Chains A and B, each alone.
Chain A
Amino acid sequence: MSSRGLFSRCALILGLVFLYLPILSMIIFSFNNSRLVTVWDAAHSPTLKWYVALAGNEPVLRAAWLSIRIALVASTGAVILGTLAGVALARFGAFRGRLLLAGMTTAPIVMPEVITGLSLLLLFVALQQLIGWPHGVGAVTITLSHITFCMAYVTVVVQSRLAGMDVSLEEAAMDLGARPGRVFVRITLPLILPAIASGWLLAFTLSWDDLVITQFVAGPASSTLPMVIFSKVRFGVTPDINALATILVSIVATGIAASTVWMRYQQRRRERDVLLAAAANL
């Protein structure tokens, strides 16, 4: 192997260690008995007491439940709007407002969150003065804001999937007399379903995880999980947060592992179908 290959491989391994070491240390210390998070109390560890403490922590559980509900609604809304935008950008050629739409769907991805958050809150305040809605800030304004920044990601995912896809199937359906709506439902939608699914997951994660924008548009009665975590960790490290992090990491790891296995299985089935079809034609 060339020296360059060796160097980049070492960099990759060190980089992965860098990415995983903090997560690993969080998991290890979630089983630590000591209140001092970073000193391992060998005599009384491992222990599950922080997990027990977490299970009885009413504000954390309430916030987690609110975050889940917001993320479910926001990711679904973002998928609908993002898919429409992605299809329009990838398939409609040069329509009026194309540049505007393209700009407005890429800008939120890089826009610093404090600016997005501030501008959304000022919008809601102005709307309330103008038309009397929304009534104060809370779960509704959080959800609307999350839909807005999540749909940008869905748009990019759907658009790049469509850009890499052959239009001939859609054209064939159109030649056979299918109306555009029918072509979309019967041909395009099934083909981009994997992109829509990963867009939904991405949107769910982003919504579930967002702190900065949420802080601007949240009210006193609507603390999401990241807000509760932030107010806790701002005043120092607390071991029950390690337990919470471990639970979240396990859920994500399980989900990713399951989806990988599922995709492998689908892939094998497709390959087998192709083989069978080829054999049948012999």
Chain B
Amino acid sequence: MVAGIPILWLLVLFLIPFLIVFRISLSEVRLAIPPYTPLFTWHNGSPLLQLHWSSYAFLFTDSLYVSSYLYSLKVAAVSTLCCLLIGYPMAYAIARAAPASRSVLLMLIVLPFWTSFLLRVYAWIGLLKNNGVVNNVLLWLGVIHHPLVLLQTDFAVYIGIVYSYLPFMILPLYANLEKHDGALLEAAADLGARPMRAFLRITLPQSIAGILAGSLLVFIPAVGEYVIPTLLGRPDQLMIGRVLSDEFFENRDWPVASAVAILVLLLLVIPIMWFQRLERRELEAK
């Protein structure tokens, strides 16, 4: 009973929907309600199964889709790396802070997360615009003489993703780093290891699980990110989440939108399962 209700709920509202997406990706678009062909048709009294792979074939013939896929992967990978480079020292500093100030620092990291994600992305439009705050400050300082084009660039998308996902990188890293035993580092120092060497040989290898969990937590959703590239990104290079949404809402092509979703899922299924394994280990190790 206790396990049955949530299992049933998730089967109906999480797992079965993916099967429906897969089934519709094998249909063809048509002008009707629903706007796709049925999988089974009756032919002389016997059911006839009709699978159309045309939506998938279409995705590989038009270069728009392939380039969106690759672009999404690149954006997600670069953003994850930036999150790691910024988030690791921050998590490290919090883990080494006095216990009393740790909870305050953690709260400061999490607080923006409780305010609207959409509004935090929107704030960057005001900062990055041609006559925005960043350009005004740089002009005033005399660093630049003409406003820089910052909005609707790859740079703006990276900023937006790093800004929104940074807490997701810091929290698992902190949870990992906080458990480290300081005695190991002291022992290394006593044995003459410089701080950098001690960090590379002791702290870094021990924090691999945290690095992986944080990176997957940023990378997987970033691949399908929709809001950030739509508000801050280039109009000429779409990410795959936007392509999916446009196929569905603008072109009303449900089979192609479903095929895009299935291909993104195929791409992400290994990272997702990897994340689940890390998560299970983390929850069961306690």
Q: Identify which of residues 69-112 in chain A touch chain B, using a CB-to-CB cut-off of 8 Å.
A: 81-82, 84-85, 87-90, 92, 95, 97-98, 100-112
In the assembled complex, B53 has its CB within 8 A of some CB on chain A: no
Chain B binder among A47-55, A158-166, A168-176:
A158-166
Cross-chain contact B220 with A81 (CB below 8 angstroms): no
Task: Across the interface, name the chain A residue whose C-beta is closest to B11.
Answer: A104
Q: Identify which of residues 67-101 in chain B touch chain A, using a CB-to-CB cut-off of 8 Å.
A: 86-87, 89-90, 92-94, 96
How far is B105's CA from A52's CA once the two chains are assembled, in angstroms?
A: 35
Task: Across the interface, name the chain B residue whose C-beta is closest to A205.
Answer: B114
In the assembled complex, B153 has its CB within 8 A of some CB on chain A: no
In the assembled complex, B3 has its CB within 8 A of some CB on chain A: yes
In the assembled complex, A199 has its CB within 8 A of some CB on chain B: no
In the assembled complex, B56 has its CB within 8 A of some CB on chain A: no
Cross-chain contact A148 with B14 (CB below 8 angstroms): yes
Quote the shortest CB–CB distance from B271 to chain A (angstroms).
Answer: 8
Task: Across the interface, name the chain A residue whose C-beta is closest to B203.
Answer: A4
Main secondary structure of the interface of B (DSSP, over half): helix
Q: Identify which of residues 229-254 in chain A touch chain B, using a CB-to-CB cut-off of 8 Å.
A: 229-230, 233-234, 237, 241-242, 244-245, 248-249, 252-253
How far is B244's CA from A145's CA once the two chains are assembled, in angstroms?
A: 19
- A163 partner, pick from B244, B254, B271, B283, beta carbons under 8 A: B283
- A110 partner, pick from B2, B20, B216, beta carbons under 8 A: B216
**Which residues of A are found within 8 Å of B136, using beta-carbon distances?**
38-39
Q: Identify which of residues 241-278 in chain A touch chain B, using a CB-to-CB cut-off of 8 Å.
A: 241-242, 244-245, 248-249, 252-253, 256, 260
In the assembled complex, A56 has its CB within 8 A of some CB on chain B: no
In the assembled complex, A120 has its CB within 8 A of some CB on chain B: yes
**Which residues of A are found within 8 Å of B21, using beta-carbon distances?**
115, 118-119, 122
**Which residues of A are found within 8 Å of B275, using beta-carbon distances?**
106, 110
Cross-chain contact A107 with B120 (CB below 8 angstroms): no
Cross-chain contact A111 with B272 (CB below 8 angstroms): yes
Q: Identify which of residues 13-38 in chain A touch chain B, using a CB-to-CB cut-off of 8 Å.
A: 15-16, 18-23, 25-26, 29, 36-38
Contact A234/B231 with A19-B163, A26-B119, A249-B115 known, Cβ cut-off 8 Å: yes
**Which residues of B are found within 8 Å of A22, using beta-carbon distances?**
120, 123-124, 126-127, 163
**Which residues of B are found within 8 Å of A25, using beta-carbon distances?**
123, 126-127, 133
> Chain A interface: which size bin?
35 or more
In the assembled complex, B286 has its CB within 8 A of some CB on chain A: yes
Contact A5/B96 with A38-B126, A92-B2, A112-B221 known, Cβ cut-off 8 Å: yes
Contact A110/B3 with A29-B126, A120-B13, A145-B13 known, Cβ cut-off 8 Å: no
Cross-chain contact B93 with A8 (CB below 8 angstroms): yes
Interface centre among A12, A85, A253 (most CB of B within 10 A): A12
Main secondary structure of the interface of A (DSSP, over half): helix
Q: What are the interface flags for B123-139 relative to A under an 8 Å C-beta threshold, 1 for contact and 0 otherwise?
A: 11111010111001000
> Chain B interface: which size bin?
35 or more
In the assembled complex, B48 has its CB within 8 A of some CB on chain A: no
- B34 partner, pick from A12, A98, A129, A147, beta carbons under 8 A: A129
**Which residues of A are found within 8 Å of B272, using beta-carbon distances?**
107, 110-111
Contact A4/B199 with A81-B5, A92-B3, A110-B220 known, Cβ cut-off 8 Å: yes
Contact A97/B123 with A107-B272, A160-B286 known, Cβ cut-off 8 Å: no
**Which residues of A are found within 8 Å of B2, using beta-carbon distances?**
84, 87-88, 92
How far is B6's CA from A205's CA once the two chains are assembled, in angstroms?
A: 21
**Which residues of B are found within 8 Å of A164, using beta-carbon distances?**
286
Cross-chain contact B284 with A97 (CB below 8 angstroms): no
- B116 partner, pick from A36, A100, A248, A253, beta carbons under 8 A: A248
**Which residues of B are found within 8 Å of A82, using beta-carbon distances?**
6
How far is B112's CA from A164's CA once the two chains are assembled, in angstroms?
A: 27
Quote the shortest CB–CB distance from A36 to chain B (angstroms).
Answer: 7
**Which residues of A are found within 8 Å of B286, using beta-carbon distances?**
160, 163-164
In the assembled complex, B59 has its CB within 8 A of some CB on chain A: no
How far is B196's CA from A113's CA once the two chains are assembled, in angstroms?
A: 40
How far is B257's CA from A87's CA once the two chains are assembled, in angstroms?
A: 37
22 contacts between A and B (CB under 8 A): A8-B93, A15-B89, A26-B123, A81-B6, A88-B2, A101-B10, A103-B276, A106-B280, A107-B14, A107-B276, A114-B244, A115-B21, A115-B265, A119-B21, A145-B13, A156-B283, A160-B286, A163-B284, A226-B118, A237-B125, A244-B119, A245-B119
User: Could you list which residues of chain B lie within 8 angstroms of chain A, going by C-beta atoms?
Assistant: 2-3, 5-7, 9-18, 20-21, 24, 34, 86-87, 89-90, 92-94, 96, 105, 107-109, 111-112, 114-120, 122-127, 129, 131-133, 136, 163, 166, 195-196, 199, 216-217, 220-221, 223-227, 230-231, 241, 244-245, 248, 254, 257-258, 261, 264-265, 268, 271-272, 275-276, 279-280, 282-284, 286
